Amino acid sequence: MYDALTKESNGESFKHIWKARIPYKIRIFLWLVENNAVLTKDNLIRKHWLGSPSCYFCHVDESIDHLFFQCPIAKSIWGIVGLCLGARDIPRNIRQYRSWISKWLPGGNAFYTCGCAAICWAIWKSRNKACFDKKVIKSAVNIIMHIGFFLKYWAGLYNQETQGRILEGVQALLACAHKVMARQPPTSTTIRMLPAAEDTTPEDDE
């Protein structure tokens, strides 16, 4: 059981998830994301669910890669995060995220898993509100605000120095989001600012 939870079939380790200082249920969620096991619509259909395959934020079929990285809303979020880091591109999937974040935030290993978890969890929560409560977000910045909330909350799990760095990062992210939105047309709900990264490796909590 331990090996199944900590290693992929190809031997790759999930220790970065289980050792991350984030709530336990978020670790489980992120493990499901990395194992393509979150119940997005494509996975529900494989279990003989008969609903519409369309994403709640756009008209493309929903999958894990689409929802968290390739949907226009997700691209807007990653674009804002990328601009905050000074990146020139955005990741297209969870595996590419690992090389992408290490490139644009070198030395920030303590934040890699925490940051990805906050982004994916905020998108998932917003997706579920659209699904179950029929509350569709009006702007990607709404999700950015939730990301900031989660990171601030989880920062309490770190030592004082790391906590301060996380809070500084949250302030920078929110400031970047507001600056970007101030330049967008009033009717725009998504922002496409950065291209997708090239493949360079084979590689609630409220």
Q: What is the mean pLDDT of residues 135-145?
A: 89
Residue with the larger pLDDT of the pair 174 and 193: 174
Note whether 161 and 24 are within 8 A (CB). Answer: no
Give the span between the Cα atoms of 55 and 63, in whole angstroms: 8
First to last CA, the chain: 29
Q: What local confidence, expressed as pLDDT, does residue 79 receive?
A: 95
Phi then psi for residue 61, to 5 deg, are -60, 135
User: Which is nearest to 33 in space by CA: 85, 68, 70?
Assistant: 68
Beta-carbon-side half-sphere exposure of residue 56 (alpha carbons within 13 Å): 22
> Which two structure tokens, joined as six digits, stand for 115?
């940051």
pTM for the whole thing? 0.87
What are the strands, taking DSSP E only, across the chain?
Answer: none
pLDDT, tens digit (0-9, with 9 covering 90-100), for 79-127: 999 999 999 999 999 999 999 999 999 999 889 999 999 999 999 999 9
Q: How many CB atoms lie under 10 A from the CB of residue 151?
A: 22
Give me the pLDDT at residue 134, please.
92
Q: 3-class SS at 61? A: strand
Q: How confident is the model at residue 200 (pLDDT cuts 50, 70, 90)?
A: very low
Rounded mean pLDDT, 12-24: 91
Burial of 24 from C-beta contacts in 10 A (0-12 / 13-18 / 19+):
exposed
Q: How far apart are CA 65 and CA 130, in angstroms?
A: 18
Q: What integer pLDDT is reported at residue 201 of this predicted model?
A: 42
Provide the 3-class DSSP secondary structure of residue 193. coil
Name the more confident of 195 and 92.
92
Q: Sketch the domain layout of the chain as residue ranges.
A: 23-182
Average of pLDDT values for 142-151?
A: 96
What local confidence, expressed as pLDDT, does residue 102 receive?
Answer: 96
* Res 78: pLDDT: 97
Q: Residue 53 — pLDDT band, cuts 50, 70, 90?
A: very high
